[in-house]
Amino acid sequence: MGMRKQLDNLCSFRLDYRKSFVKSSIAYLILPMSTSTDPNAPTKANPYESELLVNRLMTEGSDKETRHFELSLKASGLENMPGDSLEVLPTNCEKVVSDLLGVVGVTGLETVKVGDENLVLEDALMNRLACTVLSKIQIKKFNEFAQSDHLADLLQIANKDALVDYMWGRELIDLFSEFPQSGISAQDFVGLLRPMPPRLYSIASSLSAHAEEVHLTVAVVRYQGQGKQRKGVCSSYLAERVGQSIPCYVHPNKNFKLPEDSSTPIIMVGPGTGIAPFRAFVEERQAIGATGKNWLFFGDRSEKTDYLYREEWESYKKDGVLNELDLAWSRDQTEKVYVQHKMLEKKQELWSWLNDGSVFYVCGDASRMAKDVDQALRTIAQDEGAMNEEEAAVWVKGLQKERRYLKDVY
């Protein structure tokens, strides 16, 4: 458990393999291509090569590395609306590929078949195949060669918790290090790998405010695993570049949009990098002269080091674009304070806004934050609406059916 705590503290990235496929459905799996009717619009098969204009660290002095990126959309034909996401097609780190080739015992110059294409192995590993994070099916395929009793035991259904613990902090290279395989062919090795999936990031800007640009807010993953320095494929790919081309395309999100009536009030809950789409929301609302009120709940570790876009939010508050701004800092006092606590502190006003037709948005971690925010909503309904627990649950579901409670969680 010490490794788990260290990993969470270092980069706020929980390698929880029990939920990896849930998170992947939002951020890592290959998702449908752009719904644009333009046949020439960039897609996964034909991405736009965007110039990375700005790469700025926003958390100086923090043990979290969160960066703001600005990418050019000049002459791309790409359009996006607040709430949409950008899919980025990263390449693997050269050192990761080089180290893996060495441990596997292949040169990288071999020709391998990937799908219907014949590729040089090293190029395939750099650009086409995922070669870091482990999965159960990958271990199962590997053990067809290794024939390890230990791995076979871990793969038993009864030992699923032990398998999760084993995979924690390990990558594919660790399998080959712990269970060396002499003579495995390059093609058999490729058979262990899945295609490199694009990474999905909420767009943190409005085209109305930043014509021909798209901005991202990204937590960069770096941690120690099995005594080695590890890093997230796409977040570090972005973090280690500026002025270079980034293959990307837009992924529309029709289920996380601003209300059509710009006079509708909105409530936004976005701790950490969950703040990204709400920066786009507020930029858009300001640009179009929306008359609806805006309320933002934001939280992170420390006000001094983790207050993302501080100047912008405080300027919006001063100018009246943000009617309400509530901040939660989990490490600035003895007792941790999170966004749901701030919601409960303002329960009377929140209840009033919701009764006035506000749309309630949540973006961020699905496993804990979103559940806590949902429970806070139910508690507010009970306290302010004189409902019992069952009635509060029905009321919250009613908000969802009316599309007045929208989530973008992962």
Q: What is the pLDDT of residues 131-152, one digit of tens each?
A: 998 999 999 999 999 999 999 9
Compute the distance between CA of residue 32 and CA of residue 17 in angstroms, rounded to an integer. 24
pLDDT (0 to 100) of residue 13: 37
The pLDDT of residue 14? 36
Whether residue 205 is predicted with pLDDT greater than 80 in this model: the reply is yes
pLDDT at 6: 39
pLDDT tens digits, one per residue of 364-385 = 999 899 999 999 999 999 999 9
183 pLDDT band, cuts 50/70/90, is confident
Task: Answer yes or no: is pLDDT of 35 > 60.
Answer: no
Would you place residue 226 in the very low, low, confident or very high pLDDT band (cuts 50, 70, 90)? confident
Beta bridge partners of residue 194, listed in sequence order: 130
Looking at residue 22, what is its pLDDT? 31
Q: Output DSSP code: residue 30.
A: P
Helices (H), 76-148: 94-104, 121-127, 136-146
Lowest average pLDDT, out of 144-153, 223-232, 246-255, goes to 223-232
Query: Does 80 have pLDDT greater than 70?
Result: yes
Lowest mean per-residue pLDDT among 36-45, 55-64, 267-276:
36-45
DSSP class per residue in 197-236: --EEEEB---TTTSTTEEEEEEEEPEEEETTEEEE-HHHH
How does the average pLDDT of the chain come out, rounded? 90
Q: Give me the architecture of the 266-409 domain, per CATH.
A: 3-Layer(aba) Sandwich (3.40)
Pairing of the two strands 48-57 and 65-72: antiparallel
Q: For residue range 257-285, what is the model confidence (pLDDT) as tens digits?
A: 999 999 999 999 999 999 999 999 999 99
pLDDT at 37: 54
Query: How many CB atoms lie under 10 A from the CB of residue 403?
Result: 11
User: Given a cut of 50, is residue 204 above it in pLDDT?
Assistant: yes
β-strand pairing of 228-231 with 48-57: unpaired
- Domain 2-90+197-251 and domain 266-409, same fold? Reply is no
Superfamily the domain 94-195 falls into:
NADPH-cytochrome p450 Reductase; Chain A, domain 3 (1.20.990.10)
Instruction: Identify the residue with better confidence: 12 or 190.
Output: 190
Average pLDDT of span 202-231: 94
Distance, in Å, from the CA atom of 268 to the CA atom of 290, rounded to the nearest integer, reads: 16
The CB density around residue 200, as the number of other CB atoms within 10 Å, is: 21
Q: Rounded CA gap, 178 and 39, in Å?
A: 48
Q: What pLDDT shows up at residue 19?
A: 35
The superfamily (CATH) of domain 2-90+197-251 is Translation factors (2.40.30.10)
> Does residue 27 have a pLDDT over 50?
no
Three-state DSSP state, 181 = coil
Q: How many CB atoms are closer than 10 A to CB 10?
A: 15
Average pLDDT of the segment spanning 106-122: 96
Domain boundaries, the chain: 2-90+197-251, 94-195, 266-409
DSSP letter at 153 equals H
Residue 65 Ramachandran class (φ > 0 left, ψ -120 to 50 alpha, else beta): beta
- CA-nearest of 226, 259, 286, 244 to 406 is 259
- Read off the pLDDT of residues 291-341 as tens digits, 9 standing for 90 and up: 999 999 999 999 999 999 999 999 999 999 999 999 999 999 999 999 999
Residue 108 has pLDDT above 90, yes or no: yes
pLDDT band, very low/low/confident/very high, at 40 (cuts 50, 70, 90)? confident
Report residue 38's pLDDT band, with 50, 70 and 90 as the boundaries.
low
Distance CA 64, CA 275 (A): 15
114 pLDDT above the threshold of 80: yes
